[in-house]
Amino acid sequence: MTSVLKYLLRLSLVLSATAILLEIAFQLAFPSLPGELIGRMPQYRERSGFALVTEHGARESPAGEVAAIHVDQYSGDLFRLTCLSADHAQFFEPYSVRFTRDQHGFRNEEPWNEDLDLVVLGDSFTAAEAIQNPFWTGLSDSLLSLAFPGSGTIEQSLLLGAYGLPLQPDTVVLAYFAGNDLSDNQVFQEMRRQGKSIADRVHQNRSPFEYLVTVHIALYLRDMIHKANISDCHYPQVAATDPAMPVAFFDDMLPILALDADALRASDMFQATLTSIVQMAQDLSARGIRFVMMYIPQKAELVWPYLNAESKRAIASYLAENLSPIAPEMIDKNISAQRDLWLSVALEQRIEFLDMTPALQAAIENGNSPYFFADTHWNQLGHDLARQELQKFLN
C-alpha cells in the first residue's frame, strides 16, 4: 500500500470517528438543539417529550414543561416554509411568552376547575404558543383549553371526549382553521383505517439517515445557501389596502382556495371532517351542552382579493411549477367556497356558526393586519379581535 493510500485511509478513519462522536454528542443534546434544525426530524416530537401514543388516541404536549418562547421579526414559520429570507423581515417590538403546561401538556392553570363554563378546541391558532394573550383568555373564569398544534377536528374530538366531556362544560367552542384542518383530518383518518398510531405514521418508510443530526445540519446549510441564491422569490407581495404592508402566504394552503363547493363537498377530506363535526355537535346536544363552530380563514382568503393581477400571476406561476396548476381566476371565483359550504352545513345541522372573516377583513381594509407578516398565524391583534367577536357571540 502506498503512503498516499495509507494517508487517505487514516484520514477517512479520523473523519469517520469524528462524525460518529459529533453525532453522539448531538443526540445527547438533542432537545437543546435549535428547533429550525431538528424540527423536521422524525424523532423530534418524542425526543422533546410529546406523547404520540395515548389511551385516547390523540397526541399530547410534554406534561409540566415550562415553555419559554421569544418572538421577534425573524420568528415566523414562513421563513422556513417559503422562499422568504431574513432580508424580508418586518420589524416589530420583540416580546417573550412563558407558561407552564398542565398535567396533559395544555396551557391551563392547575388544578383544573371541575365546574366548567367553557372548553375550547383547536390547533395552533388556538394553542397560540407565541401569543401572550390567546383569544380564549378572559372569556370565563372557568375555562379549559384543549388545543393541540397540528391537530384536526377528528383528533380534537378525541381530546374532548377524554378530558372535556367528563367535566360537563356548559359550552364547547371548536376553532376550525380553514387552511389545513381538512388535510389534517384526511391524514389522521387514513392512519386509523390502516390500524396505525401517530407514531407509526411518523416513522413509516424512514431511512436511518433521516435520524442523524449531522445529516440534517448539512441539509439545513444546503437549504440556507439555496434560499440566499434565490433572486426571484414570489414573496413578499403588496396588498392594495396598504402598500406599506407586505404579505406572504403558505403556498401549500392555496390550492384548496381553487376548489369549488361541489368539489370540496365530494372530497374525502371534507367528508371526514363533516362526519367528525356533525358527530361532535350531536353528542354535545344530547348532553345539553352548547356547541359553537368558529371559522378561522387562512390569511390568503382575506388578502388575495387585494392583490393586483401581476402578483396573482407570480404566485400562480410558482404553484404551477411546484404544487399544482392553478389559474388565478380559479381562486378569484372560489375563494369563499369553503366558508360558504360550512355555513350551509351549519344551517342544515343547526350548528351555531361564528365566522371570523368579517372582523378580520375590516381590520385589513383599515390597514391593520391581524396576521404576522412572516407567519401563517394571528398576531396579538388577531387574537384580540377574535376574543371580542367570540365574547359577543357567546353573550
Q: Where are the domains of the chain?
A: 113-212+230-394
Mapped to the 3 state alphabet, what secondary structure does 300-323 carry? HHHHHHHCCHHHHHHHHHHHHHHC
C-alpha cell at 276: 367528525
Instruction: Give the whole-angstrom CA distance, residue 323 versus residue 181.
Output: 19
Question: How many Å separate Cα 29 from the centre of its chain?
Answer: 26
Q: Are 35 and 129 in contact (CB under 8 A)?
A: no
Q: What is the pTM of this model?
A: 0.93
23-46 per-position pLDDT tens digit: 899 899 898 888 888 888 999 999
Q: At what angle do helices 357-365 and 380-394 cross, to 10 degrees?
A: 140
Residues in contact with 249: Cβ distance below 8 Å, sequence separation at least 6, in sequence order:
78, 82, 235, 298, 299, 300, 303, 315, 376
- Positions of the chain with pLDDT lower than 70, given as ranges: 1, 228-230
- CATH code of domain 113-212+230-394: 3.40.50.1110
Question: How many Å separate Cα 66 from the centre of its chain?
Answer: 21
What per-residue confidence (pLDDT) applies to 40?
85
What per-residue confidence (pLDDT) applies to 237?
92
| Cell numbers 416580546: residue | 95
What per-residue confidence (pLDDT) applies to 1?
58
What per-residue confidence (pLDDT) applies to 284?
98
